[in-house]
Amino acid sequence: MHDAHEFLRTLAVVLCVAAVTTVVFQRLRQPVVFGYLLAGMIVGPHIPIPLVADEAIVETLSELGVILLLFSLGLEFSLRKLLSVGPRAGLVAVAETSGMVWIGYVLGQLLGWTTLESVFAGAVFAISSTTIIAKAFEEQRVKGRFTEIVFGVLIIEDLIGIFLIAILTAVATGTAVSASSLAVTGARLATFLAGLIGVGLLVVPRTIRAVVRMNRPETTLVASIGICFAAALLALSFGYSVALGAFIAGSLVAESGEEKVVEHLVQPVRDVFAAIFFVSVGVLIDPAIVVQHWGAVLAFSVAVILGKLVFVTISSFLTGYTPRTSVQAAMSLAQIGEFSFIIAGVGLSSGATREFLYPVAVSVSAITTLTTPWLIRAAGPVAEWVDRKLPPPLQTFVSLYGSWIERMRRSGGGAPELSTTRRLVRLLLLDAILIIAIVIGASLEAGRSAALIHDSTGLSERLARAVVPTAAAIIGLPLLIGLTRTARQLGVELARKAIPAPKVGDVDVGAAPRRALVVTLQLAILAFIAIPIVAVTLPFLPSYRYALAPLAFVAIPAVAFWRSAMNLQGHAKAGAEIIAMKIGSGMADAPSDGDDPFATDMERVRMALPGLGDPVSVRIHESSPASDLTLAQLNLRGVTGATVLAILRDGEQVLVPSGHDRVRRGDVLAVAGSEESVAAARELLTGVGA
């Protein structure tokens, strides 16, 4: 009976304090998450206010909040939608988590932490918070395409987090980590997901449809939450996150087509327990420890925000998203949360880390939770600012790159092309695995091998110790060279899908854009491979300064990229001249209405000068919202991703215009970019949906 009374007292204290702080923050026009965190600090044990809540009960209730939040999130993302963003989201998630592990490890070493503490720090600050992002999106009613990539990345991150927990648990407890144990861990996770999704698709959608047909809301609510908690319990029983099971359950319910009905019923229950989750984060904040380690808290908070902003923006753009979408996704993911607490808890409970890491992780989570709503709100203006500050050659490249990736995905390719692509990918993965094996093997066996060399050859201990890394470098150098060459071959193979090579003897008019695409793809492939390699091998290297190795590895392709971007600017200008000539010769006879009065001419331009995306002509009418505005005021490229190649008016033409050029009534604009970008640009310029 005492436990029941304590549960009731804790629930009353938490909800009453949260209600007061939430009202205050709403009156101050601040996100209510701030109020929940403050409520947690008030009812926590670290501030001398006589409203202390039982931490164990709060933690239990908060886990229910995580489950219901992730279930609601899954309702918005069916399995088909997740699979559609899966490959690109996977690349972004791997690049981001690897980069953050890299930064976290280096920062830990700079702060004087042990190697194992630095490894845990990297893992702690690598995983973003699905719960915090879901709440921030809901509060600000954020919609749009970028939310799909955000949640796709979050799901892949959760899987990576599960994998990291399994590995770090083994490392912390002294269990040997081998290739076979990693393979077994990955196979178990894949088998669990396949079984849960396979059986769930057969049972859950049919069950939900049958329950909804009964037209009893309470029955639908109970059945839905029952499925949610059953999947969460199943995931927990297999050693995985309850959040993963709850999200899969929501996606399975969404396959029934009745997700809107279920979401409406679950929302009130979810909101109560979600509030308790954020209160539980505030309970863990100890101001004294935060003050004691304020330097580490500040450094890691800045590293999380800037690191995720850089890695997510660049990797999202390289996988084909527009700069605006990439920046919005990056600024949404710039925080850490529940997985960070779990990983830090593993280190603390096993003795692998000292006590300070857990409160530092919680404090960084609190700070980045506070900044997340502001970052999401500022994402649009920041994306526009980034676009304005890019040099003109990069602005042109950014506008056309999305169209190349779009064409590459649409082209698909026949069996021979797919076979070649798969072979090159396998070679890249093999080289990467061999490089990792050489580095880790040389590190683990350095002492024993040096002693053996010293005893058998009589070399001094210093020279004997130098033999092993030298031999590893000699063996690994051909693999690095092969990795670079294979990356270029793969880049050439993929670029030909977007901009086909001419027939033998024909002039290669698409050479400039194809060269820019090849160099970019090579740079992207090397970056996507080099960053995980460094993240995995860094703890085994003699110094964290080797973290700069990827910068040297991609330096030469980066220089080649800038040169190709300059050449592309000339190609775009030549294309603008041809477009101006074609449109100028027919402006007098062109109809004043219609989607594209020069569609035939634009098609001829595409054939004559490939690599300019899908250029279209847009006439500015009297009622056009773009009339009398400069291109900088329109911010066409920043908003839509498309670029204006030329502006034509009677007796005048402007080729590759700048932001100062003004759009006037009667102008015809030649707009280039991906199909989606061009459609959005047409709507922005004319005020009429495409």
Please give the average pLDDT of every successive group of 10 residues along the chain, which has 690 residues.
74 86 82 79 81 77 78 73 72 90 89 86 86 75 75 81 73 59 70 84 87 87 89 84 80 83 82 80 77 87 92 88 84 82 76 81 83 82 79 79 78 67 86 85 74 73 75 83 87 82 69 81 85 83 68 69 75 72 59 54 64 75 79 75 78 74 81 78 72
- Collapsing DSSP to helix, strand or coil, 56 comes out as helix
Q: Among 509, 526, 553, where does a domain finish?
A: 553
Amino acid at 672: A
Whether residues 357 and 408 fall in one domain = no
Q: Among 387, 420, 443, where does a domain finish?
A: 387
Whether residues 211 and 296 fall in one domain = yes
Residue 566 lies in a domain: no
- Run of H or E residues at 654: strand 652-655
Whether residues 580 and 507 fall in one domain = no
**Sequence-distant (≥ 6) Cβ neighbours of residue 58 within 8 angstroms:** 10, 14, 40, 43, 276, 279, 280, 283
- Run of H or E residues at 379: helix 357-389
Amino acid at 387: D
Q: What per-residue string of b and e applies to 230-243 under the rule 16 or more CB within 10 Å gives b?
A: ebbebbeeeebbbb
* DSSP-derived secondary structure letter, 672: E
Whether residues 530 and 657 fall in one domain = no
Whether residues 634 and 485 fall in one domain = no
Per the listing, tokens 């009622």 go with: 623
Whether residues 264 and 369 fall in one domain = yes
Q: How many structural domains comprise the chain?
A: 3
Instruction: Read off the CATH number of the domain in which 583 is found.
Output: 3.30.70.1450
Q: Among 487, 518, 553, where does a domain finish?
A: 553
pLDDT for the residue numbered 306:
92
Whether residues 545 and 631 fall in one domain = no
SS3 content of the chain, % helix, strand, coil (to 5): 75, 5, 20
Residue 395 lies in a domain: no
Residue 562 lies in a domain: no
pLDDT for the residue numbered 302:
92
Residue 668 lies in a domain: yes
Whether residues 645 and 539 fall in one domain = no
Instruction: Read off the CATH number of the domain in which 185 is found.
Output: 1.20.1530.20
Residue 538 lies in a domain: yes
**Sequence-distant (≥ 6) Cβ neighbours of residue 241 within 8 angstroms:** 158, 161, 162, 235, 339, 342
Whether residues 468 and 586 fall in one domain = no
Residue 563 lies in a domain: no
Whether residues 346 and 431 fall in one domain = no
Provide the H-helix boundaries in 620-669: 631-634, 636-640
- Collapsing DSSP to helix, strand or coil, 258 comes out as coil
Residue 588 lies in a domain: yes
Containing structural domain, residue 630: 571-686
C-beta separation of 411 from 497 below 8 A: yes
Whether residues 480 and 535 fall in one domain = yes
pLDDT for the residue numbered 690:
46
Residue 564 lies in a domain: no
What is d(CA 367, CA 351) in angstroms, rounded to the nearest whole number?
26
- Run of H or E residues at 97: helix 79-110
Whether residues 177 and 230 fall in one domain = yes
What is d(CA 92, CA 156) in angstroms, rounded to the nearest whole number?
9
